[in-house]
Structure 1
Amino acid sequence: MQDVTGAADAATTLDVVTGYVDYVNGIVWGPPMLLLLLGTGIYLTVGLGFMPLRKIGFAFGELMKGRKSEGEGDVTPFAALMTALSSTIGTGNIAGVAVAIAIGGPGALFWMWMTALVGMATKYSEGVLAVKFREVDADGRRVGGPMYYIKNGMGKKFIWLGGLFAIFGMLAGLSTGNAIQTAEVVKTIGETYGVAYWITGLVIAVLAGLVILGGIKRIASVAEKIVPAMAITYIAIGLVVVVFNIDAVPAAFGRIIANAFGFGAAAGGFSGALIMLAMQRGVARGIFSNEAGQGSAPIAHAAAQNNDPVDQGIIAMLGTFIDTILVCSITGLAILTSGVIPAECDAGLIALGAQYPEVCDVGATITSNAFASALPGFGQHFVAAALALFAFTTILGWSYYGERCAEYLFGEKIVVPFRWVWIAMIMGATMLLYMDGNVAEVMATFWKATDVMTGLMAAPNLIALLVLSPLVFKMTKEYFAKLEAAKAADATSAE
């Protein structure tokens, strides 16, 4: 009887929490946030003369040069990008895309792409400002990010806005960068191999602790070795899955475009609710995955051994391209071409107010089923391994973000205690999954809570990017003018 009562109490508490999360989520991700996020990206893209889209090839060239140290900082420019990518290529690319499609429909993938394309300009601007306004703390570390370019770029009267970002950033780190990553891994490993949640959680905590306690240099050292290999492998295997279902690719793209603009089978025609749902889930999951506009990645880029803010910004913008245009697209196409989402889970039903069916799982299971359908006996194991590795590197990268936000608020003495709190949170998130019979609902609430934190963190950063955009435009013009002048001088001397 006690167990039943305890389970009922847990369910009631979870229902209350879920209700509050849903309410706040609706406010945070309403039309104003969508307009601010996409509007800022579009404004910066146009203001930069579409440079981020025109200079992708040039950016990859600068990335290869960035393997060497050419300025003051703590890690190489390449390692800084890999650290940023370690936090972006995570559960968002595997479970997050599945969540977006399952709840927001196939059209969510289209809005993820749009968020990424304009997000490249946003991420570029973040990288420029991060290096331009970074500081050196009492321990000799280069520290930067939105809180610093708000304080040093916008002036002291806006210090409160920088503090607000740091608060949201620290909380987002513990939820977005820690709890949801841990929960998805322990759930997937448990479902795939029957391993007790606490065992997986403990392994993650120990391994993460060994790296995190070593600070940014150890995190970057691990990231620059693991991230490129894991991203390339995931893209390659994902392409194999899509090739196995190549006949379904045209129909998948058709569903993506139709659903993105409010047309879905379940809706029976056009539905304004459906297009809004696709935009909300696509933009929210897009920013969760690539973090463009969220303000987290510039914290890593501020530590780069690069004295040229524009050059680091160019390297930074590649993070969005790699994360969403490449990795997330592979996941989305694998899911849609495999047909693993049941018809009764069509997002049009949800947009029209229907109850979400219990058979519609939300998370990495969808992606696992998609890979397994094309590669039986291998696909589900590959997704489990990829999820564990992606999430682990995200936990490492986000620990640094949270640490820098905590340091901004409380000073250098908070760094070591915060690292221990971070490790403890891994076990805390693991234990939450033991709420009797509510694993699926806990996971759904986790994902919605991460959306809230992502939105709250992004708002101060986006405001700063808009205010400081004239400086970014000016520095960009000067940078490329110097490059053109140098090319002209070289051509003249060659003659």
Structure 2
Amino acid sequence: MDVLGSFLDSLDAMLGGSWWFPYVLLGVGFFFTVYLKFPQIRYFKHACRVVTGKYDKNAHEGDTTHFQALSTALSGTVGTGNIGGVALAISIGGPAALFWMWMTAFFGMTTKFVEVTLSHKYRVKTADGTMAGGPMYYMDRRLNMKWLAVLFAVATVISSFGTGSLPQINNIAQGMEATFGFERMATGAVLSILLALVILGGIKRIAAITSRVVPVMAAVYILGAFAVIFYNIENIGPSFVSVFTNAFTGSAAAGGFLGASFAYAFNRGVNRGLFSNEAGQGSAPIAHASAKADEPVSEGMVSILEPFIDTIIICTLTGLVILSSGVWTEKFETEFERSGMTFIKGNYDEANEADREQLYKYLNGHSDHQVEEYTGAIQVVQGIAVNKDFTVIHSRSIGEDIRFGISDAHQYTGTVDIESGTPVDPSITIQGKSLVHSAELTTKAFTRGFFGDSGKYIVSIGLLLFAFSTAIAWSYYGDRAMTYLLGPRSVMPYRVFYVAGFFWASFADTTLIWKLAAVGIVVMTLPNLFGIMVLRKEMKETVDEYWEKFEKEQGQASGDDKIEKSRDFQ
């Protein structure tokens, strides 16, 4: 498992974690934004009207309404990324990471418009009478690249487990255990039954559930966020200022935070933006392919709203909660994660400017630092290190009050061997004070508002609803990919296996799955970005044809309903 984990880390470093991937993702979105003359701005009002069903006709083919398709796609994107992903980006890249999440969403609105339109255009009706679509269909039917379509579909199935099923229930179970004391296996059993009842009913039941759950979960979370924002209203202005002033310079050290370079903030912000809104990944087009519409562009219009709701609204609220509350620079008692912890030689003090500078260079990959990773033996008596010739770095901060344990006992006595900065024995636990990240950081922030400590329940409930709805949506993405690969008969076995994996992950370690998902996301994204770039001219022609037909159908209607897109926009 360690070898496989290392291999996946290396693969992710070459793909999603590489310097070039954010430029490719943003570059495609920027190109289409200019090429189609800023559709995310010009078509926004029209998109709102389409999603309300203003132009719906009963004769349109499909399984769901525009709103239900939007809700299903949103349920797949509004999830742990909005609660934990934003917190992770800020904890790694500082306030600047939020700016690059916004940029990913802004250009992603156009990317999603393009991918949904093209995927809807080449959707098919399957043998069981349901609609099936997604990038694999335009790759196969239009580009004649069967191999690319198969690669994308396989990556989608992998991601359905790595993104939609296993990590989601793992996060839910951990949150329920920490907040309410529920056994993780019991949480998994109950939610697995509910998941089965929903997804075994197919897209119509999935759409019916998500169209009800998404508005409720958004309302609960937004209420809790505003309770913190208004409580810390005097910090909102400085928080916004820090986001913009740090966008192109990186974030300086603040409190326990040791600072982040521009490159780090940019990379993490764009990556977390993709994980949150999935624009360009090719997942949302699978949900939108089920919508009742005879015009692919009309469904593409609806998808413009997704990154706006997911990232511009919900992720921004999470970011402002974290920044205005100040918890992102505070240290809390926590158990250090093995993957986020490094032992280094010598004693470093964050109050010392020279030490901060060296650690900043080390953490941001500069070559001119003097920091050395620790290798040697640490003598421990009742959990406390006897020798003091090391410093522990955890979550981009210096760990304090370090205590060593083994399994559940935190009064370990003996020797702890360290090799290249990492404890050799994985059963050794390290506790102390450091910065925290992901959902834990968001939970801390929600307690700094009008609801006080009760704010943590909003995060737990929000995480439950967000993550569970994500699992529902991704089951549909996976079964459409299976339909493409092996036909409709493969769907039911896939769903059974999906639910079984969901239950198992409630009490298992899914670290490896997260790594597999990180690779799977990029393997989905790159072929999709390539495909829509190849079809750029067809996309432009399809949009022009849509507006020509729309004008004719609207006739001589007056006011805003006459023509919502003037000739100046063409």
**TM-score over 0.5 for the pair:** yes
Bigger mean CA deviation after superposition, 350-359 or 163-172: 350-359
Task: State the partner residue of 2:322.
Answer: 335
Alpha-carbon spacing, 1:18–1:277, altered in 2? closer, same or farther (3 Å): farther
Which 5+ residue runs of structure 2 have no aligned equivalent?
333-355, 372-392, 400-433, 563-570
Q: What CA distance in whole angstroms lies between the structure 1 residues aligned with 2:46 and 2:149?
A: 33
Alpha-carbon spacing, 1:124–1:153, altered in 2? closer, same or farther (3 Å): same
Q: Sequence identity, in percent?
A: 40
Q: Superposed, which structure 2 residues align to 1:34-113 within 5 Å? A: 34-65=22-53, 70=58, 71-113=60-102
Q: What CA distance in whole angstroms lies between the structure 2 residues aligned with 1:491 and 1:258?
A: 46
Q: What CA distance in whole angstroms lies between the structure 1 residues aligned with 2:57 and 2:220?
A: 27
Q: What CA distance in whole angstroms lies between the structure 2 residues aligned with 1:280 and 1:379?
A: 31
**Structure 2 residue 394 is matched with structure 1 residue 356:** yes
Give the drift of 1:430: 2.0
**Structure 2 residue 284 is matched with structure 1 residue 297:** yes
Give the drift of 1:78: 1.2
Tell me, yes or no, if the aligned pair for 1:182 and 1:201 is still in contact at 8 Å. yes
> CA offsets, 1:176-219, max 9 Å, x none?
11112111111111111222211111122111011011111110
Task: State the partner residue of 1:5.
Answer: none
Q: What CA distance in whole angstroms lies between the structure 2 residues aligned with 1:382 and 1:259?
A: 30
Q: What CA distance in whole angstroms lies between the structure 2 residues aligned with 1:222 and 1:17?
A: 37
> CA offsets, 1:392-437, max 9 Å, x none?
111000000011111211111110000011001112222323xxxx
Task: State the partner residue of 1:370.
Answer: 445
Task: State the partner residue of 1:436.
Answer: none
Task: State the partner residue of 2:508.
Answer: 432
Give the drift of 1:242: 1.0
Give the drift of 1:114: 0.4
Alpha-carbon spacing, 1:181–1:37, altered in 2? closer, same or farther (3 Å): same
Q: What CA distance in whole angstroms lies between the structure 2 residues aligned with 1:69 and 1:323?
A: 28
> CA offsets, 1:465-489, max 9 Å, x none?
1111211111112222344455563
Tell me, yes or no, if the aligned pair for 1:180 and 1:450 is still in contact at 8 Å. no
Tell me, yes or no, if the aligned pair for 2:93 and 2:260 is still in contact at 8 Å. no
Match of 2:120 among 128, 131, 139: 131
Match of 2:490 among 414, 427, 444: 414
Larger radius of gyration: 2
Alpha-carbon spacing, 1:113–1:32, altered in 2? closer, same or farther (3 Å): same
Q: Superposed, which structure 2 residues align to 1:457-476 within 5 Å? A: 457-476=524-543
Task: State the partner residue of 1:398.
Answer: 474
Superposition TM-score, scaled by structure 2 size? 0.77
Bigger mean CA deviation after superposition, 197-206 or 346-355: 346-355
Match of 2:274 among 282, 287, 301: 287
Q: What CA distance in whole angstroms lies between the structure 1 residues aligned with 2:70 and 2:106?
A: 18
Tell me, yes or no, if the aligned pair for 2:328 and 2:441 is still in contact at 8 Å. yes
Bigger mean CA deviation after superposition, 231-240 or 466-475: 231-240
Give the drift of 1:237: 2.6
Task: Report how many residues are paired.
Answer: 467
Q: Which has the higher contact order (CA 8 A, sep 6+)?
A: 1
Q: What CA distance in whole angstroms lies between the structure 1 residues aligned with 2:487 and 2:177?
A: 39
Give the drift of 1:256: 1.8
Structure whose residues are more often helix by fraction: 1
Give the drift of 1:129: 1.1
Match of 2:518 among 451, 457, 477: 451
Tell me, yes or no, if the aligned pair for 1:66 and 1:77 is still in contact at 8 Å. no
**Structure 2 residue 157 is matched with structure 1 residue 186:** no
Q: What CA distance in whole angstroms lies between the structure 1 residues aligned with 2:115 and 2:245?
A: 33
Give the drift of 1:245: 1.0
Match of 1:203 among 166, 187, 190: 190
> CA offsets, 1:27-47, max 9 Å, x none?
112133222211110111111
Q: What CA distance in whole angstroms lies between the structure 2 residues aligned with 1:67 and 1:16?
A: 55
Q: What CA distance in whole angstroms lies between the structure 1 residues aligned with 2:251 and 2:260?
A: 11
Bigger mean CA deviation after superposition, 380-389 or 452-461: 452-461
Give, as a single letter, the amino acid of the residue that structure 2 aligns with 1:362. H
Tell me, yes or no, if the aligned pair for 1:67 and 1:79 is still in contact at 8 Å. no
Give the drift of 1:258: 3.5
SS in 2 for 1:397: helix
Superposition TM-score, scaled by structure 1 size? 0.88
Which 5+ residue runs of structure 1 have no aligned equivalent?
1-12, 434-441
Bigger mean CA deviation after superposition, 242-251 or 289-298: 242-251
Give the drift of 1:273: 7.2
SS in 1 for 2:448: helix
Structure whose residues are more often strand by fraction: 2
Give the drift of 1:124: 0.7
Alpha-carbon spacing, 1:423–1:390, altered in 2? closer, same or farther (3 Å): same
Q: What CA distance in whole angstroms lies between the structure 2 residues aligned with 1:160 and 1:272?
A: 44
Give the drift of 1:18: 4.4
RMSD of aligned Cα (Å): 2.6
